[in-house]
């Protein structure tokens, strides 16, 4: 499909080896097209963050294929993956991941600079992105001088700056009050409507409803809500 | 009922005739609760009977205008400054009732029932969100009024989904621990009167 931005084919992820190993994802198939926002919901520990890190090339799956903009990640070198990630992917991490020694503006400019843009030219789009999240007046502050919700908005500005084509957001509205959360979703939505693609991990059905499609993870597997899981399968997850 | 108080609050802004009152009500609530003309006149009749409004002859002769009275104004004031009484636990909610009955029946896959309901409510939630999204930022008081109504429905749908998630988890645990077994018909003679464990209406 020409419009396909991301495809996961039978992706499984196992953390560790032997007795203590944890299977975080099992045979996950997922496609995200241009102009599509997909919400991923599921209980804590169901594999949502793992899915995002694999989709963004931050972790190699134990088995299965990840295809970003037509590139099979398994066939790229680490350097090529890093370049692809920088140019095409915007990440919002569950724990923000801002760099403490850089100001808000420098944090947001960073992906553009890493891509070879001189700081003076990176500033403009970075300021624009900060304005969208309502923090243009905090551009010169350091993360430690900002509230949790403000740091989260900076992280979101950093993920969308310069029009990256795939935005992967892990609970981007977690620390926000409901109106600010909605502003963030509006922004994400407008990026996607302008031709990007996105995955939005959230616990909140109200936020997931902004997506075109909602998928559920249960114990590392995607469960199709059109075909509800029989109770016997659910019981496997209950300690007995 | 809230239509009654809404009418009074609108009439507090100035006299209106029946159809005018309907259009004022609908434009202030995003046409969320359409009214038929019968409802409007029966509401007006009752308001007039209760002395909260009177017919007003000062307007044009084509329409019958209604004007608010002093006691009508007092009622508006009381409505706007007091909380709305919400249905108590004993109020009938079809979904809660269906789940409660289903959990006592043999051969019902309640988890599937919950999942089917959740899919439906999630679709409703997506639909509401799409409608709200299409509206963009509120540009007028009327837009805002409508969006507040939309938000209310969105938050209610969300609450229902959370309750369904919660019920599903509890149910799976209950099945695992052997609590959720079908309840057969009880053949012992039933005493007259109310069973003791039924919740009573608040303020009864
Ligand atoms: N680095 C790791 N090493 C070992 N196990 C891990 C690691 N990261 C995650 N896991 C395990 O993998 C499973 C999935 O974790 P993941 O972080 O993807 O869940 P999640 O759905 O994002 O949860 P949450 O909603 O709490 O963020 C969990 O059982 C978790 O304990
Ligand atoms: Mg996570």
A53 lines ligand 1 (CB under 6 A): no
- Per the prediction, chain B carries an average pLDDT of 85
The residue among A37 and B82 whose pLDDT is bigger is A37
pLDDT value of residue B91: 62
Question: Does residue B199 surpass a pLDDT of 80?
Answer: no
A44 lines ligand 1 (CB under 6 A): yes
**Chain B residues with CB-CB distance to A209 below 8 A:** 122, 125-126, 128-129, 154
Look at residues A32, A4, A6, A39 and name the one whose alpha carbon lies nearest to residue A185.
Answer: A39
Q: Given ligand 1 and candidates A19, A41, A48, A173, which is best to mutate, with the most ligand atoms within 8 Å of its CB?
A: A48
Using CA atoms, how far apart are residues B1 and B42, in angstroms rounded to an integer?
13
Interface test with B, best of A184, A228, A232, A237 (most B CBs within 10 A): A228
pLDDT tens by residue, A107-124: 999 988 888 888 888 999
pLDDT value of residue B24: 93
* Range name among A58-67, B156-165, B185-194 with the lowest pLDDT average: B185-194
Using CA atoms, how far apart are residues A82 and A56, in angstroms rounded to an integer?
10
Using CA atoms, how far apart are residues B143 and B133, in angstroms rounded to an integer?
12
Nearest Cβ partner of B112 from A210, A228, A240?
A: A228
**Chain A residues with CB-CB distance to B111 below 8 A:** 228-231, 234
The residue among B57 and B198 whose pLDDT is bigger is B57
Gap from B120 CA to chain A (nearest CA, Å): 10
ipTM of the complex: 0.75
Q: How many residues does chain A have?
A: 240
For residue A92, give the ligand nearest its CA. 2
Q: How far is CA B180 from the centre of its chain?
A: 32
Nearest Cβ partner of B173 from A205, A210, A238?
A: A238
- Dihedral sign for Cα atoms in the order A50, A53, A58, A60: positive
The residue among B177 and B6 whose pLDDT is bigger is B6
Token pair 């009152």: residue: B21
Rounded to an integer, the average pLDDT of B92-113 is 84
Contacts of A166 (CB under 8 A, 6+ apart): A5, A6, A32, A68, A69, A88, A89, A90, A196, A197, A198
Tell if the CB–CB gap between A228 and B173 is shorter than 8 Å: no
Rounded to an integer, the average pLDDT of B130-140 is 81
Question: Does residue B41 surpass a pLDDT of 90?
Answer: yes
Q: What is the residue with the minimal CA distance to atom 18 of ligand 1?
A: A47
Tell if the CB–CB gap between B115 and A209 is shorter than 8 Å: no
Share of chain B above pLDDT 90, in %: 39
A47 lines ligand 1 (CB under 6 A): yes
* Range name among A77-91, A225-239, B30-44, B153-167 with the lowest pLDDT average: A225-239
Tell if the CB–CB gap between B133 and A189 is shorter than 8 Å: yes
Burial status of residue A156 (CB atoms within 10 A of its CB: 0-12, 13-18, 19 or more)? buried
Tell if the CB–CB gap between A206 and B158 is shorter than 8 Å: yes
Q: Is B33 helix (H, G, I), strand (E, B) or coil?
A: coil
Q: What is the residue with the minimal CA distance to atom 31 of ligand 1?
A: A45
* Radius of gyration in angstroms for the set of CA atoms belonging to chain A, rounded to a whole number: 18
pLDDT value of residue A232: 43
Counting atoms of ligand 1 from 1, which one is nearest the CA of A50? 18
Burial status of residue A205 (CB atoms within 10 A of its CB: 0-12, 13-18, 19 or more)? buried
Look at residues A147, A162, A152 and name the one whose alpha carbon lies nearest to residue A183.
Answer: A152
Low-confidence ranges of chain A (pLDDT < 70): 1-2, 224-240
pLDDT value of residue B59: 63
pLDDT value of residue A233: 42
Question: Does residue B82 surpass a pLDDT of 90?
Answer: no
pLDDT value of residue B90: 62
pLDDT value of residue A38: 95
* Radius of gyration in angstroms for the set of CA atoms belonging to chain B, rounded to a whole number: 24
Within an 8 Å CB–CB cutoff, is residue B116 touching chain A? yes
For residues A121 and A101, is the Cβ–Cβ distance under 8 A? no
pLDDT value of residue A228: 43
Counting atoms of ligand 1 from 1, which one is nearest the CA of A25? 14
Using CA atoms, how far apart are residues A15 and A50, in angstroms rounded to an integer?
10
What is the CATH class of B3-81?
mainly alpha
pLDDT value of residue A170: 92
Structure-block tokens of residue A99: 């760099």
In this prediction the pTM is 0.80
Within an 8 Å CB–CB cutoff, is residue B48 touching chain A? no
A24 lines ligand 1 (CB under 6 A): yes
Within an 8 Å CB–CB cutoff, is residue B176 touching chain A? yes
Domain definitions of chain B by residue range = 3-81, 94-176
Q: Is A94 helix (H, G, I), strand (E, B) or coil?
A: coil
Using CA atoms, how far apart are residues B77 and B3, in angstroms rounded to an integer?
15
Helices (H), chain A: 48-55, 78-88, 104-114, 119-132, 148-160, 178-193, 205-208, 231-235
pLDDT value of residue B197: 59
Where do the domains of chain A lie, and which CATH numbers do they carry? 4-14+24-231 (3.40.50.300)
Angle at B166 between CA B163 and CA B168, to 5 degrees: 110
Rounded to an integer, the average pLDDT of B22-45 is 90
- Report CA(A15)–ligand 1 centroid distance (Å): 9
Tell if the CB–CB gap between B119 and A205 is shorter than 8 Å: no
Question: Does residue B170 surpass a pLDDT of 70?
Answer: yes
Using CA atoms, how far apart are residues A189 and A183, in angstroms rounded to an integer?
10
Structure-block tokens of residue B145: 């009024």
Gap from A230 CA to chain B (nearest CA, Å): 7
**Chain B residues with CB-CB distance to A208 below 8 A:** 122
The residue among B87 and A91 whose pLDDT is bigger is A91
Using DSSP bridges, classify how beta strands A22-33 and A4-15 pair: parallel, antiparallel or unpaired: antiparallel
Look at residues B64, B65, B62, B84 and name the one whose alpha carbon lies nearest to residue B6.
Answer: B84
């Amino acid at each position: 499909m020409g419009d396909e931005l991301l495809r996961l084919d039978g992706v499984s992820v196992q953390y560790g080896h032997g007795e203590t190993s944890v299977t975080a994802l099992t045979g996950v198939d997922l496609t995200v097209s241009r102009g599509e926002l997909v919400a991923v919901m599921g209980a804590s520990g169901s594999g949502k963050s793992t899915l995002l890190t694999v989709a963004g090339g931050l972790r190699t799956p134990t088995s299965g294929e990840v295809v970003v903009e037509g590139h099979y990640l398994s066939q790229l070198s680490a350097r090529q993956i890093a370049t692809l990630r920088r140019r095409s992917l915007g990440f919002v991490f569950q724990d923000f991941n801002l760099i403490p020694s850089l100001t808000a503006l420098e944090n947001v400019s960073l992906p553009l600079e890493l891509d070879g843009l001189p700081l003076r030219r990176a500033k403009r789009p970075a300021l624009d992105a900060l304005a969208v999240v309502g923090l243009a007046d905090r551009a010169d502050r350091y993360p430690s001088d900002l509230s949790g919700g403000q740091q989260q908005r900076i992280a979101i500005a950093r993920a969308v700056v310069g029009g990256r084509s795939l935005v992967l957001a892990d609970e981007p509205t977690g620390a926000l009050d409901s109106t600010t959360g909605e502003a963030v979703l509006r922004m994400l939505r407008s990026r996607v409507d302008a031709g990007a693609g996105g995955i939005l991990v959230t616990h909140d059905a109200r936020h997931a409803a902004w997506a075109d499609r909602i998928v559920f993870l249960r114990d590392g597997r995607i469960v199709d809500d059109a075909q509800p899981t029989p109770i016997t399968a659910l019981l496997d997850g209950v300690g007995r | 009922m809230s239509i009654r108080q809404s009418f009074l609050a609108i009439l507090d802004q100035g006299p209106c005739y029946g159809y005018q009152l309907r259009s004022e009500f609908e434009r202030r609530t995003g046409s969320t609760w359409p009214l038929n003309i019968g409802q409007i006149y029966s509401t007006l009749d009752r308001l007039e009977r209760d002395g909260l409004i009177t017919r007003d002859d000062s307007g044009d002769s084509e329409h019958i205008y209604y004007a608010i009275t002093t006691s009508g104004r007092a009622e508006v004031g009381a409505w706007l400054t007091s909380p709305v009484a919400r249905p108590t636990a004993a109020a009938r909610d079809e979904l809660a009732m269906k789940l409660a009955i289903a959990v006592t029946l043999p051969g019902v896959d309640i988890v599937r029932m919950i999942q089917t309901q959740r899919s439906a409510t999630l679709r409703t939630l997506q639909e509401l969100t799409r409608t709200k999204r299409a509206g963009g930022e509120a540009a007028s008081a009327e837009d805002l009024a409508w969006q507040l109504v939309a938000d209310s429905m969105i938050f209610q749908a969300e609450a229902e989904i959370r309750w369904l998630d919660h019920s599903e988890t509890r149910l799976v645990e209950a099945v695992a621990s052997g609590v959720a077994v079908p309840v057969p018909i009880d053949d012992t003679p039933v005493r007259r009167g109310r069973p003791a464990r039924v919740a009573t209406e608040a303020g009864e």
